[in-house]
Amino acid sequence: MLGPLVPGLDVKPLIAELRERVAEELDYELEAASQRAHAEEYAQDTEIVVPEVVHQSDQILITEWMEGIPLSEVIADGTQEQRDRAGQLLARFLFSGASRTGLLHADPHPGNFRLLTGDAPDGPPERWKLGVLDFGSVNRLPEGLPEPIGIALRMALQGDAMGVYELMRGEGFVKPTIEMDPEDLLDFLLPMLEPAQVDAFVFDRQWLRSQAARVADRHSPVYELGNQLNLPPAYLLIHRVTLSTIGVLCQLGATVRLRDELEAWVPGFAEDPEPEDGAEEGAEAEEGAGTGEAAEAGEATGTGEATEAPQGTEEKSEAAETSA
């Protein structure tokens, strides 16, 4: 049914992927294993709390109780400090989880998170933590988030339209039968990447509505281009998590340093740091000094090569001079 409406979308693999993920959500053994992996990894974390699994069987899963303010309540009437802290920690957890556990929590619903103020309900916000529940839906990413995501984001922000186009085609977002202008693709993507273009971004419902309206306008070239794009099955849950997280952040009205989280946790987003000038000069000076020493040693031997006199040669030379 969706094929004629979205010609760029390869539907059958997506349906198969969805079926498999839904089946996993009903498996308490898998859910318990995912929660235990997160609980172990974040056990000593000062910002993220994952309750331990107490008991699990085929039909029941019991975890430790966790007090806290549901994100739904923070969305409804939380202070701005609560909104900002919850939003920052939500982004941090969802981007760090894949790197730290090899699993991506794939159900970022407000009901699955708690703001834990503990013994500091009045702040400072830096003492508040984020509690995480419900690990029934996860994406298994042993190597962390795919590096092409970070590379494509970085190239898009740098204005490399052709680079983005070629990478997305290689990853299957643009099928071989589809042709599009790389600059049009970049124009389609950049407004959505606004949160990554600044140090801190204010997520709100108005921004989200404007993005939705832009891609849903049937009379817009953006709408046509969007329908030409494919969603590879391997990126299905990543796509779901990204959109859902943005939705929650906009409901919170949180100011979030998203770029910091991308640089810290998304492979390929941050460029490899170039050596500092001082370090390069130091290396050159050290190399030059070594070469100079070798040259001096070579001159001393009269051969132009850095050699060491055989043991006893010097003694024999002195004896010969004395004899003469």
* 3-state helix/strand/coil string of the chain: CHHHHCCCCCHHHHHHHHHHHHHHHCCHHHHHHHHHHHHHHCCCCCCEECCCEEEECCCCEEECCCCCEEHHHHHHHCCHHHHHHHHHHHHHHHHHHHHHHCEEECCCCHHHEEEECCCCCCCCHHHCEEEECCCCCEEECCCCCCHHHHHHHHHHHCCCHHHHHHHHHHHCCCCCCCCCCHHHHHHHHHHHHHHHCCCCEECCHHHHHHHHHHHHCCCCHHHHHHHHCCCCHHHHHHHHHHHHHHHHHHHHCCEECHHHHHHHHCCCCCCCCCCCHHHHHHHHHHHHHHHHHHHHHHHHHCCCCCCCCCCCHHHHHHHHHHHC
pLDDT classification of 318: cutoffs 50, 70, 90: very low
Share of the chain above pLDDT 70, in %: 79
Check whether 3 has a pLDDT greater than 50.
Answer: no
Euclidean distance between CA atoms 226 and 30, whole angstroms: 35
Confidence bin at 8 (pLDDT 50/70/90)? low
Distance CA 92, CA 85 (A): 11
- What are 187-218's pLDDT values in tens digits? 999 999 999 999 999 999 999 999 999 988 88
Residue range 304-311: mean pLDDT, rounded:
43
- What is the band of 19 on the pLDDT scale with cuts at 50, 70, 90? confident
Mean pLDDT value across the chain: 85
Tens-place pLDDT, residues 217-232: 888 888 899 989 999 9
CA–CA dist 293, 245 (Å, integer): 61
Question: What is the per-residue pLDDT for 24?
Answer: 74
The burial class, CB within 10 Å (0-12 / 13-18 / 19+), for 286 is: exposed
C-alpha–C-alpha distance, residues 319 and 184, integer Å: 87
Q: What is the pLDDT of residue 315?
A: 44
pLDDT at residue 276 in the model: 56
For residue 313, how many other CB atoms are within 10 A of its CB? 10
pLDDT the model gives residue 94:
95
Query: Is the pLDDT score of 294 beyond 70?
Result: no
Q: Nearest Cα to 108, choosing from 91, 128, 88?
A: 91
pLDDT tens sequence across 44-68:
999 999 999 999 998 899 999 999 9
pLDDT digits (tens, 9 = 90+) for 28-48: 999 999 999 999 999 999 999
Residue 324 scores a pLDDT above 90: no
Lowest mean per-residue pLDDT among 72-76, 120-124, 182-186, 265-269: 120-124
Lowest mean pLDDT among 86-90, 96-100, 289-293: 289-293
